[in-house]
Structure 1
Amino acid sequence: MTSQEPPKIEFPCPDYPIKIMGEAGDALQTLVIEVMTAHAPGFDAERIRIKDSGKGRWQSVTVYITATGADQLEAIHRDLKAHPATKIVL
């Protein structure tokens, strides 16, 4: 059995997608904007994509940033997961 290593990301990585899923509402969207502004200054807020679930209880929010390193991505993930409205960060 051969073990595969995950693909390596070369930094900086433009157009790096981050998807956040959680409870629908302004709290999730505000959180995403605050975290991205803190950790990925200059991200394009116009490219934020929001998709509601069929019944409207959940949302997925996708943003695109220029990823500068693993530390940045870990900080974004940590700050997003710390909020109770967030369920999954991909």
Structure 2
Amino acid sequence: MTAIPTDDSLFEFPCDFPIKVMGKSHPEFAETIVLVIQRYDDAFHSGCVETRPSSGGNYTGLTCTVRALNRAQLDDIYRALSSHPMVSVVM
């Protein structure tokens, strides 16, 4: 009899995991997102963020690469970001 894996994760933890965050352009947007993520990844810093403004300059896209320790941590980060008032989209 073979064992059925109980972990449905497609990732091997720990791993570097990029999270894309988009929101209306604001001078403190990137700094605010860094502070939100640091609640769940204390090693996260502004050097882990790539910033891309939209073509019209109305929105800013961030790629935030976190050191994911487990699925629960990623879920917590996603919930915190998606519920933040400055954030429009999280992927």
TM-score by length of 2: 0.81
Aligned to 1:10: 12
Instruction: Give the SS at the match of 2:39.
Output: helix
% of aligned pairs identical? 29
Separation (CA, whole Å) in 1 of partners of 2:27 and 2:77: 19
Q: What are the residue-to-residue correspondences of 1:29-48 with 2, within 5 Å?
A: 29-48=30-49
Higher gyration radius (CA):
2
Show structure 2 runs of 5+ residues with no match. 1-7
- Root-mean-square deviation (CA), in Å? 1.7
Moved more, 24-33 or 60-69: 24-33
Separation (CA, whole Å) in 2 of partners of 1:71 and 1:26: 31
Aligned to 1:60: 61
Show structure 1 runs of 5+ residues with no match. 1-5
Aligned to 2:88: 87
TM-score by length of 1: 0.82
Moved more, 40-49 or 62-71: 40-49
Instruction: Give the SS at the match of 2:79.
Output: helix
Moved more, 62-71 or 42-51: 42-51
Separation (CA, whole Å) in 2 of partners of 1:73 and 1:25: 25
Deviant stretches of 4+, over 2 Å: none
Q: What is the deviation of 1:67?
A: 0.4
Higher helix share: 1
Separation (CA, whole Å) in 2 of partners of 1:45 and 1:9: 24
Aligned length: 84
